[in-house]
Structure 1
Amino acid sequence: MIPLTRRLLAACTLGAALTACGAQGPARQGPAGSASPSATRPPVLTPGPGGLTPVFEHGPRTLGRTVAFTFDADMTADQGPRAASGEHFDNPGLIAALRELKVPATVFMTGRWADQYPAEARDLGHDPQFEVANHSWSHYAFTADCYGLPTVDSGGMRADVQRAYNSLRAAGVPHAMPYFRFPGGCYDQRALRALSGLGVTAVQWDVVSGDAFATDADAVTRQVLDGVKPGSVVIMHCTRSAAPTTERVVRTVVPELRKRGYRFVKVSQLIGETAGHR
């Protein structure tokens, strides 16, 4: 988790707050190579030169007022004892609010979070209002100097992503999306090369909510409302202990954006529109 600061807009491609929070067609091939029955294959961006992992930040600006809310469900291995002692790294109230407001959303979940909260991971994974994507297993950074996070060496990056998919499957998430969010939003060419061949699209964002460790819900609300444009991807968190204002923010922001003519979609829809718009 990181403090609210404009450094986010410059470092690590709008770096994120760190510690946060389920038709007929061909079988979907999972990012780690496992086939799973589903509807059509989720949209992904075309890899770059040499198969370099593609990066998605926002959808088209010219295809209507759509916005995707994304929520990081973050947890690291060393936070297990804190969870055991009663600290909450989940946020059922936020999920209930999204359901009540009928807001589809994409949840980027660490494998460690799924290990800690398997029933909640399974519930999200089976709810068509949500899509669950990969946020690494360890929540260690994939670059140096990423907001003080420990780092994964390049030889361990691919395994960390695959381990997260394994945890999601073990928790009962049947069709985790082929989308990956770098911890802290920090990546470089080495990290993108390390994940080449996994079939994932790296998903960033263009609106930083600033909900990490925030205590002023009004300030977070203003930041979201001031930042959203057609096709925006908003990053928020679903961890009560580290993002305690997020439910209040969502309950305020959603009706206001709807009054402005915005429609809420999942990241997969924006990626599909982007791929088809090129």
Structure 2
Amino acid sequence: MQFAPLFPIVYRILQLSFPHCLWNGDSNSKAIALTFDDGPHPQYTPQVLTVLERYNITASFFWLGACVNRSPHIAKAVKDRGHWIGLHGYEHHSFPTLSSTQLKQSLEKTQVAIYNACELEPEQVRDVRPPNGFFTPKTLKLFQQWNYRPVMWSVVPEDWVRPGVSVVVKRVLEQVTGGSLIVLHDGVCGGQDVAETIKILIPQLLKQGYQFVTVDQLWR
């Protein structure tokens, strides 16, 4: 069963309930953020970089520490092209299932992996997107205590179940508005289609007058 039709409803409820997370940018602006979860991947991430470079677009990547350690040269290529880097945990474990100690270690291990690959200091990498979007008030309280910034989403086309490139593109175009925070995946689940998806999606969004910014710019 696909849950894509429910995400816009869930988004509106959670946005009101947890206003200190980044759910979207300024709705009166044409600035939107294109984000990619679950990488870096040795095959899919370079394909994404090629498309982004073609259109001179800067995106944001939320990384798994284990994947950074497996593909440090890909991580460095992302960083060297000026894209924004965030955390997605060391492994793709749901944050509410982890103890406070385990969660802290997961984030810090990922920061270490990013430092080793990209020479980005831990304080430069403090945006966190929970895997599967799962969090609790306790999770958010810990983020605040540890000086991390929770980054969520406003457009989720559920590309990880691979409904087809045309379906993912259609879902994004139907939901995108000013300030949208779009979630795609360049990892094992969904990464097979992501380059083809953004090849179609980016020109159409540019034609509609949208400008692509990073998550950091949305925070501002």
The TM-score, its normalising length taken from structure 2, stands at 0.87
Question: Could you say what secondary structure the match of 1:139 adopts?
Answer: coil
Higher helix share: 2
How many Å apart are 1:101 and its aligned residue? 1.4
In our comparison, the structure showing a higher alpha carbon Rg is: 1
Deviations 1:119-153 (CA, angstroms, capped at 9, x unpaired): 0111112222x11111111221012xxxxxxx322
Match of 2:109 in 1: 163
Seq. identity, %: 21
Q: 1:71 aligns with which of 12, 31, 36?
A: 36
- Distance in 2, Cα, partners of 1:251 & 1:209: 16
CA contact (8 A) 2:4 2:157 kept: no
Whole-Å separation in 2 of the counterparts to 1:103 and 1:168: 22
8 A contact 1:126–1:174 mirrored in 2: no
Structure 2: how far apart are the matches of 1:260 and 1:221? 14
Aligned-residue offset at 1:106: 0.3
Mapped partners of 2:167, 2:34: distance in 1: 18
CA contact under 8 A between 1:94 and 1:246: conserved in structure 2? Answer: yes
User: Higher mean Cα deviation, 217-226 or 240-249?
Assistant: 240-249
Q: 1:140 aligned to 2:93?
A: yes
2:63 to 109, 122, 131: 109
Unaligned runs of 5+ in 2: 13-17
TM-score in terms of structure 1 length: 0.70
Q: Which residue of 1 aligns with 2:212?
A: 264
- The number of equivalent residue pairs is 213
| Change over 3 Å in CA distance of 1:92–1:253 after alignment to 2 | same
Structural RMSD (CA): 2.5
**Per the alignment, do residues 61 and 10 of structure 1 end up closer, same or farther by CA in structure 2, a change over 3 Å counting?**
closer
Contact 2:30 2:211 survives alignment (8 Å)? yes
* Residues in 1 aligned to 2:170 and 2:50: alpha-carbon distance in whole angstroms: 23
Give the alignment of 1:43-192 within 5 angstroms: 54-62=20-28, 64-74=29-39, 90-128=44-82, 130-143=83-96, 151-175=97-121, 176-192=124-140
- Which consecutive unaligned segments of at least 5 residues does structure 1 have? 15-51, 76-82, 144-150, 273-278
The amino acid that maps onto 2:61 is: V
